[in-house]
Structures are given as structure tokens and as C-alpha cells.
Structure 1
Amino acid sequence: MSNFVHTLAQWRVVGSATKKAVLLYLADRASDDGSGIWMSKATAAAHLELSKRSVQKVIGELEADALVSQVGQRPCEHGYTVEYRINIDVLKQLPEIATKGGGRPRKKGVNEVHGVNLVQGEGRTTFTGRGEPDSPKPSIEPSIEPSNTPQPPQGERDLFAGDDQGDKAPPAPTEDQHFEEFWQAYPKKAGKPAARKAFAKAVKRAPAEVIIRGARLYASWLSSPPRAGEFRPSAKHPQGWLNDDRWEDDVLKGMADPQQVSRADRARRFDPPSWQPVVR
């Protein structure tokens, strides 16, 4: 287990509680550089109290986000298990969780109030002996006095009325939406009705996000210049590509997702530099 990777993942926003749970589970099994992760998806599902299908789907989403990548296979009793790696650089680019006070809580859980340390932990509050000798201990009961904090106008309050209602996950994309995304990514537009039927069967064997990412990688591979002596065939019909599970082709493994590359380029283009020029 890497405390560094686990802490880094814990303080990043990934979009849903299920994705965060699976990401932290993977981080528990990672080395400090994010590598060396392998486990049974059935075991992970049992530990996380999720279905195996849910674990497979979430790992596919993490791969589509380039947070996790496959680096190889390890033999096991029933064949092999996939070895994963958490991409630390991509994880660091995610927004960091902001606490109510505007930053991370103190590591030791110590807050100082009027010269008295309040050490909170495991359901109790302990007063250390600092402060004035005869000063009363601060009350830990909630105040019932009205707050003097200025409130925004009613109209502005209405804009944020739903902020405290809890995070609600956006509705999951439908199969038709997933197919249209696949169709836009796939390089050869031919036989759409047959491709739609093949896609409906393919998503029962692999998460839709993994198939769509495979289509993007396949299009990128076809458009890239071939290596010396490499045969580069024309694009397959989408129906045959789906029926043959071609998103698992070895030639696509290790390729960078063009969608993630474009996101990283935009981030580098628009993010302000972390350094300041020296004016002499």
C-alpha cells in the first residue's frame, strides 16, 4: 500500500462515490509510483460491496479518463489477471477537494481557540493546559445566538438553494447515446443498423466506455504513419470490429487516448504558469 497514492486520490474529485471507492481500492494496492496493481475483480467487488459488473464498468471509466491504464498480465489460478497502474500525473491534474474552511484540516486535528487547544478524536474533545490559568474553558455547545454574517439577497440565495441538498450524480448515458458516441469515434461509417445490433451485444461483454475508447484508439492508429515494414490495413466494418472484440487488440494497448491528450493540451494552454518572470 502506498500512503502517498492513497492520500493523493483521497483529496481529488473524481465525479462519483463509486469511482472514488474503486480508485482508493486500487491505490491501496499501488506502489509509490502508482504501479504494481493486480487483483481479482470478483474479490474487489466483494470488498467494496458492489457487483463485479459495476467494478468492471468503473475501471473502464477510470481507463477512459486516463487515470488508470493496463500495463500487462499476471498468471493466476484461472488464467491471468490484468495488472494496472494509476497515472500520478493525470491524478494530480484533477481538482482538489476544498474543505469548509477553505483548505485541508490540520494533520494532527488540533484547533486553537482563545489560547486553548482542542484536540478532537474518536468522539471526544480534550482540553490541554494552555491559556490563562483562570480563563474559563470554551464551550463546545453550538451557539444559539443569531449570526452577524451578512446574508446575500433573496434572489442570490435562490440561485444556490440546491447546494446543500447533497451531490446528485448525473443520469447515466443510455445505450443509444453510447452507440452514437462510438459511431462518431469509429473511423469507418458503414452498416449503421448492423453496427448498432453488434454494439448492443458487445456492451454485455465489456463496458461501453472501454469499447468507445478502443474505437478512438483504432482511428488514431489507422491515421498514424506506419512503422518500417508494418502492414497497415484499411478500416474494418464496425459490425465485424465489434463482433471480434477488436478493442482488445494488442496494437492498441499502450496508446495514448487522443481525447485525453487534447484535454491535457488545453489544460497546458490555458492554465496560468506556476512561475513568475524576474523583472530587473
Structure 2
Amino acid sequence: MSWKVATLCSERRFGSPVRKQIIMYLADKASDDGSGIWCSKGTIARQTELGETTVKRAISEFLSEGVLVETGRRACMNGYTAIYRIDLDAVGLLEAICDPNMGTGSRVDGVRCGPGRGASPDGVPGPQRTPNNPKTIRKPPTRGQAREEEVVPELEKAWKAYPADRRRDQRTSLERMRQALSEISPDELIAAVRAYAVETEGFTRSKVSFSDNWLRDEKWRRHIDDLRRRKAETEAAAEKQLGQIAAWVKARHGMCKHLTKAQVVDAVERGLISRQEAHAAGVMR
């Protein structure tokens, strides 16, 4: 049992009493890092007195949301039992349950601020507020506030381009995206994300990188290099083709009759041939 994980989960909203009951049960089985949870859905259903279908649905939702991660399997009498880990970063991003700001009924600060009257001759001034006074504790931002603070237009599209089932720790991912954009353009980052998604389509969750790790390890670099190389090769091939078109026009080659107007105009605009040469070859009026 981990009091750390249980306390963290108890202070966050999970959307319904059933979901909260199940996550608290799992937190009770976790280590301090959220790992090492292995209990069958039937066991959870029996000990929480919930329906097994309800438990299966909640577990599936937690997995898709990234709150719960399947880390392995353990053999049992019925086949195997999945081993789970509660993602503490994902739980930390959920909306916090804040205590209401309720007054004590007194307008006078009950903490002594003046000189003390103990054994000390001069006395020791007391603190203005106790260390655990609600006004000295900054409340964590809600999930909505965190999203409004972190998501900016140029990063939102890149975040949404990452496969939904692999998004994790939005705040860290957006910060690492912002760092990546100091070297590459948003379009290149989006293209790299999509290329990675296509490359790993059909892979199991244990074989793919979640957004925060993928960006931390700068795995986008390989895809960016491939994209830039292919772009350079395409541009070189187009340049070579225009050179061949210019040579045909200058020589009034028989292939001129197969040229399109756009190809001729492009060659003229690039200065590879003149309008007079194009008129003489009969490819421009």
C-alpha cells in the first residue's frame, strides 16, 4: 500500500464515484511510484462490490486516458493477470479537489504577533500566519486552467496530431514541443508526428513511445532528417527535369510537343530559357 499514491488520487477528481472507488482500490495496491498493481478485474469487483462489467469499463477508460498503464502480465490459475501502473504525472494533471474557503467566524487573527511573554526577556514575535494557513498555500491549477495556460495555437495542432492513446503529461509535452520549435517549423514537427504514428501503427502499448518520452528523446529528429532528404531529392529531380526541358526548347527537339504550358512558364521564370526561344520552339504563344 502507498499512502503517497492514495493521497494523490484522493485529492483529484475522476469524474464519478465509481471511477474514484476503483482508482482508490488500485492505489491501495500500488508502490510509491504507482507500479506493481496486479489484481484481476473479478477480484476488484468482489472487493468493491461493483459489477464486473463496470470494473472492466472503468479500467478500459483509465488505460485510454493514460491514467493507468499496463506494464506486463502475470500467470494465474485462469490464464494471466495484467500488471498495472498508475501514472502519477497524469493523475497530477487532473482537476484538484480544493477545500472551500470557509471562515472561522472571527475577524481577529488568532495568532499572536506581538512580543512573547515567556521566559525570554525580550520575547519572540509570533508569525503573521501559521505555516498551513490556506492563504499561504497556492492551490494547484485545475485541468482547464493548465490547458489554457499551456496550449497556444502553434502547439495545439502539433499536440492533437499525436495519437490520442499515446498522449501523456500535456504540460511537459508542450514545453518540449516549444523547445523543438526553436530548431524546426510547426509543419515539420506535425509531419514527424504523423510519420511516427504511421510507422508504429498496430504496435502494442509497450512498443511505442508516449508523447513526453518521444519528445524528451528527440525521436522526431530521424523523421525530420528523412523528410528534408526526400524534399531535397524531389527538388533536385524537379530542377534536373527543368534543365532537360530547357535543353529541348533550345534545340527545338521533337519532345517539345509534349511539354505543358506550366513547365514552359516555370523554365522561363527561372531564367533557363527566354521567351523568344520558347516562341521559336512553338511552345509559347
Could you tell me the TM-score, scaled by structure 2's length? 0.40
Structure of greater Rg: 2
Larger strand percent:
1
Could you tell me the TM-score, scaled by structure 1's length? 0.41
Larger helix percent:
2
